[in-house]
Amino acid sequence: MYKSQTVAPDTANKIDLRNAIRYYNLKAQFSYYPNEKHKINAGISGIRYELEPGVLNKDIVSNIAKVILDKEQGYELATYVDDEYKLSEKLRVQLGLRYVQYLSVGPAPKRVYVSGEPLSGETLLQNTWTSGLIANYGGLEPRLTALYTIDANSSLKLGYNRMHQFLQLVSNNTTPLPTARWKLSDNNIKPQSSDLLSLGYFKNLKESIWELSVETYYRRTQDMIDYISGANLQLNPTIETQLLNGKGLAYGAELMLTKKKGEVTGSIGYTFARSFSKVDGQYPEQRINTGNWYPTNYDKPHTLNLMFNAQPDKHNSFSFNFVYSTGRPLTAPVGTYTLDDQKILVYTSRNNDRIPDYYRLDFSWIISNPSMKTKRWEGSWAFTVYNLLGRSNAYSVFFKTQNDVIRAYRLSVFASPIVSLGYNFKFK
C-alpha cells in the first residue's frame, strides 16, 4: 500500500491533499522436473488495484474548496509457464511465456470521445456511471534468458522480455513530488508495453578478488504517456484530456569493476544511458516538439559511482562514496512577451536544456570493538558526513523575468555538509 499526504496548515487557506494506492496480490506456482536437464515452472497470479487519485480538504474547514476525485479499480490476471533447460555444461536457457489480461472496472465514470479527435470537453460524446466493465486489454509476454559459461571465471548472459504496465505515474514536474498523480489504464488510456533486450559479460579476476561486468540494453516502448503543453494535471477529473500517447526509446551500457577482498575494497561504476520519447499525433495539439524525438526526464547520459572502503585495523573502517551524473533535462524559456504590463515567458520545445550536473562526496568512519563479538550483542560508533564538499546541487530550476531579463534560479536541498554521529548495536 502506498499513501502520500501534502499539508499546508494555514489558518484560513488550509490544504490537505492525499492520494493512495492499494495493491492486493495473490499467486500460485508449481515446479516440475521431468529430468535433470529440465525444470518447468508454471503458475497463475491475480492483482487487484484500488486507486485514490486525489482527495483535497475532505475533513477540514478551509477557504479552498473540497475536491474528491473518483476512485479507480482494476484487475490484472496472468498465467505463465517457463522451462529452464540445460543444453550443455556451458549453456543454460530459460524460455517462458506469460499471458496477462487487465480489466478496468467500476464503479466509476466511463467517458467516450469522438474517435480520432483530440480528447476535450468539445469532443466528449458520453459520460456515464458504470459499475461493470470499462475496458480490457490483454497480451502475450515472451521472455528468454541464455547463460553461456565461457570458462570458470567468465560468462555471457543474453536476455529478452516483453512487459505491460497498467499503472502509470503522471506528472509535469521534473522533480519527484508527492503531488504527482497515478493513473490506471481505462478506455481512454492504453497500457504501456515495452520490449527489452540486454547483453552482459561477467568475469572474475585474480582468484575472484576483482569482479568485472559489462552490460548493455535496448528498450522500445509503445503507448507511453506524456502531458500536453500547459497541462493541468492536479485534481483534474478528466485527466485523459491532458495526456498523449507516444513511443519511447532507451539504450545504454554499464561498466562495473569491484574489488571484493582485502583491507581495501570498493567499486567503480560508469553508466551511459539515454532515454527519448516521441509523440506525433494526427493534429498539432497531439504532438510534442512537432513530432520529433526529445529526451525524457530520466535522460542522464553519464553517471559515475566510486566507492572506497578501507579497514586498517580491527577497530576502524573508513569509506568514501562519490556520485556524479549529468543533469536531467528541463524545459527552458526562449523569450518573453508582454500582456497587461506583465512579462510572460515563452516556451517553444520541451526538455531543451538541462539542470547543472550533479556530484556529491560522502564520508563515514565506523569504530567498533571486536571483543564485543563474544557477547550477546555488539555495537559500533558511526560518524558520517553527507555532502562533504558542500556542493549546492540543483534539485529543481525555475525561471523568472527581472528587469526584462530571464533569470534562472536553482532550488537546492542539503546544500551544505550534514554531519551525524550515531551508535549502532545488534543482538546475536
3-state helix, strand, coil split of the chain in percent (to 5) is 5, 65, 30
Q: Which long-range contacts (CB under 8 A, 24 or more apart) does 365-370 make?
A: 365/316, 365/317, 365/318, 366/316, 366/317, 366/318, 366/319, 367/315, 367/316, 368/314, 368/315, 368/316, 368/317, 369/315, 370/314, 370/315
CB atoms within 10 A of CB 56: 20
- Name the E strands within 326-376: 329-330, 335-339, 342-346, 353-354, 358-368
With cell 472496472, the residue in question is 105
Q: Can you give the pLDDT at residue 374? A: 58
Contacts of 369 (CB under 8 A, 6+ apart): 315, 378, 379, 380
Peptide bond into 176 cis (omega under 30): no
Q: What secondary structure does DSSP assign to 168-194, as a single string?
A: EEE-S-SS--TT-EEEE--SSSPPEEE
**21, 1 Cβ separation under 8 angstroms:** yes
Q: Can you give the pLDDT at residue 179? A: 62
DSSP state, residue 414: S
The CATH code of domain 1-267 reads 2.40.170.20
| HSE-CB for 193 with a 13 A CA cutoff | 12
Within the chain, how many helices (H) and strands (E) appear? 0, 28
Per-domain boundaries in the chain:
1-267, 300-428
Phi-psi region of 206 (alpha: psi -120 to 50; beta: other; left: phi over 0): left
Q: What secondary structure does DSSP assign to 33-85, as a single string?
A: EEETTEEEEEEEEEEEEEEEEEEESSSS--SSPPEEPPPEEEEEEEEEEEEEE
Per-residue pLDDT of the chain (428 residues; tens, 9 = 90+): 888 878 877 777 888 888 899 989 999 999 999 998 999 999 999 999 999 998 888 878 778 888 899 999 999 999 999 999 999 999 999 999 999 999 999 999 999 999 889 999 999 999 999 999 999 999 999 999 999 999 999 999 999 999 999 999 887 765 555 567 899 999 999 999 999 999 999 999 988 899 999 999 999 999 999 998 888 888 899 999 999 999 999 999 999 999 998 889 999 999 999 999 999 988 888 899 999 999 999 999 999 999 999 988 888 999 999 999 999 999 988 888 888 877 888 888 999 999 999 999 999 999 987 665 556 777 888 999 999 999 999 888 888 887 777 888 888 888 899 999 998 877 76
With cell 520490449, the residue in question is 195
End-to-end CA distance of the chain: 32
Whether pTM > 0.75 for this model: the answer is yes
